[in-house]
């Protein structure tokens, strides 16, 4: 299972939110590149980079941060937040992103999303499936739709999607464990490569997610709040 630390960006700084609430912003570093380099020095190979300004304004904002991390490290970066046009995808790819996470467009304009999957490939486009009470949320989690999370994922799997990042917003940043039951349901009802996100607080959470078959796990606040050490994670990666 891939271990994927997260860096969320607001105003070019490394931050974390709680349940996606921008008013809960906590700054952990003024220099995201140094954070990414530290991850890499500890044996980490992957990074989940989120442009929270972009998610809020509906266009990429912090692409220079993406570019600096991709040029300054060998991390394999997936990037999301504000991907609303093909121009945004081009900016992300040209800035060095290996994969692009698209959520809101997939919920709001399915035809456009499927066109992107066909054009750029299912290995490059990740479906962002973020939910609140089992329903898909969009626009930086500000809006909630009536779309069922399982239906959303299985419908897109039938249309060629392979990678899915799923976040249960109620768990995000809470350090109270993950929505393992939800992830298990998704895995049992589909064959997507599921990347779990939100709520990881202990190594036990990570082992459980591996046990149910998650392809990857995104870890954010647990690292920044020293609930899980990068040494523990690097040992897991090498085990």
Catalytic residue annotation: 8, 130
Q: Kindly give the residue spans of alpha helices, DSSP state H, lying in the chain.
A: 32-41, 52-57, 63-72, 86-94, 104-108, 110-120, 149-158, 180-189, 203-212, 221-224, 230-238
Instruction: Report the helix count and the strand count for the chain, using DSSP H and E.
Output: 11, 12
- Is residue 97 within 8 A of residue 78, CB to CB? The reply is yes
Residue 20: name the closest of 11, 10, 35 by CA.
10
- In Å, what is the CA distance from 152 to each residue of 16, 107, 116, 164? 27, 8, 17, 11
Q: DSSP character for 220?
A: -
Residue 131 contacts by C-beta under 8 Å, 6 or more apart in sequence?
A: 137, 149, 166, 167, 168, 169, 182
Helix (H) or strand (E) holding 21: strand 21-29
Residue 27: name the closest of 12, 44, 48 by CA.
12
């Amino acid at each position: 299972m891939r271990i994927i630390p997260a860096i969320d960006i607001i105003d070019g700084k490394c931050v974390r939110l709680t349940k996606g609430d921008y008013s809960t912003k906590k700054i952990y570093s003024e220099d995201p590149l140094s954070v990414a380099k530290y991850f890499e020095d500890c044996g980490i190979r992957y990074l989940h980079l989120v442009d929270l300004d972009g998610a809020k304004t509906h266009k990429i904002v912090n692409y220079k941060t993406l570019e600096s991390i991709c040029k300054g490290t060998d991390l394999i970066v997936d990037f999301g937040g504000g991907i609303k046009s093909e121009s945004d995808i081009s900016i992300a790819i040209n800035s060095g992103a290996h994969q692009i996470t698209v959520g809101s467009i997939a919920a709001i304009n399915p035809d456009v999303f499927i066109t992107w999957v066909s054009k750029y490939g299912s290995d490059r486009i990740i479906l962002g499936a973020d939910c609140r009470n089992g329903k898909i949320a969009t626009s930086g989690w500000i809006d909630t739709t009536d779309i069922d999370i399982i239906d959303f994922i299985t419908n897109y799997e039938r249309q060629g999607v392979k990678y899915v990042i799923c976040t249960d917003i109620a768990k995000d940043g809470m350090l109270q464990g993950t929505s393992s039951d939800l992830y298990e349901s998704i895995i049992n009802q589909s064959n997507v490569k599921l990347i779990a996100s939100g709520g990881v607080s202990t190594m036990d959470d990570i082992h459980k997610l591996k046990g149910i078959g998650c392809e990857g796990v995104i870890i954010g606040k647990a690292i920044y709040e020293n609930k899980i050490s990068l040494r523990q994670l690097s040992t897991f990666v090498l085990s």
